[in-house]
Structure 1
Amino acid sequence: MAVKMDKEALSAFLVEVFPQVHEDFAIEHVEEMAVRVRLKVAERHLRPGGTVSGPSMFALADVGVYLAVLSMIGPKALTVTTGCSMDFMRKPRAHADLIASCTLLKLGRTLAVGDVLLRSEGADAPVARATMTYAIPS
């Protein structure tokens, strides 16, 4: 199965469909069944103690798998999250961007399942891991 939306197409789609948050994310790499996305960490993403908040990490995982799905099926904006399991493993580096490595484990006609590892920029150990399920509109 070939990639239907490359990095530029996905970036333009985010600007068009999610103008309120597109500036928070940068798509770094797109390949068949996988993407890498960066959360450009700003003060609004931090919680007390200066670390990236759980909701910000969830948003990165969610956007990452959403983009991985769209890269394979094309611009179907109504593809929606139907399930998530997320493990927070260690504290992200203070004020460091987060990088999500997203891999699609299953891409069917109506459902997609993706796995995400989140790392602080420059660190090898993941700070969180998520499994996301999406419903694909027909």
Structure 2
Amino acid sequence: MLATKQEIENFMRTDFPQAKCTVEAVGAQSATVRHTVGFDELRPGGTVSGPVLMTVADCALYVAILGEIGIVALAVTTSLTINFMRKPSSTKDIIAKCTLLKVGKSLIVGEVSLYSEGYAKAVAHVVGTYSIPKFK
């Protein structure tokens, strides 16, 4: 059961407002989300903090999964590996592009590339796995 962009946006707004990500696109085992960087998310040196980048990647993965299996609130992260490759801009939104690599019955694996808006080279690369709850 697929979830539409509108259904996911409504769910995120009502059930997960702390995510602070905007759904840009969802479908075909993929998703793109945007996060506007705030001053409180910068670390010394004027770069976006690692935990913020991990959160945005996790959000993109979650949105792609919801788009594929429907609104399943208890789909949860079981692993997340990130490689920081470049300093993200402190004045540009973070754009996360996710592709699901494997959709199984109990686990879903995806990868996310994170970009500073307007830049072609990724600032970070993430691979994550989600556990999907069993329904009886």
What TM-score comes out, normalization by structure 1 length? 0.93
Q: Does 1:115 align with 2:111?
A: yes
Deviation above 4 Å: which 4+ runs of structure 1?
Answer: none
Q: How many residues align?
A: 134
Compute the displacement of 1:38 (Å). 0.5
Answer whether contact 1:116 1:131 (CA < 8 A) is retained: yes
Distance 2:35 2:15 in 1: 18
Answer whether contact 2:85 2:122 (CA < 8 A) is retained: yes
Give the alignment's Cα RMSD to 1 decimal: 1.1
Identity %: 44
Q: Which consecutive unaligned segments of at least 5 residues does structure 1 have?
A: none
1:71 to 61, 67, 72: 67
What TM-score comes out, normalization by structure 2 length? 0.94
Q: Which consecutive unaligned segments of at least 5 residues does structure 2 have?
A: none
Q: Does 1:7 align with 2:5?
A: yes
Deviations 1:78-116 (A, max 9, x none): 000001111000100122110000000001110000000
2:14 to 8, 13, 16: 16
Where does residue 82 of structure 2 map in the other structure?
86
Q: Does 1:38 align with 2:34?
A: yes
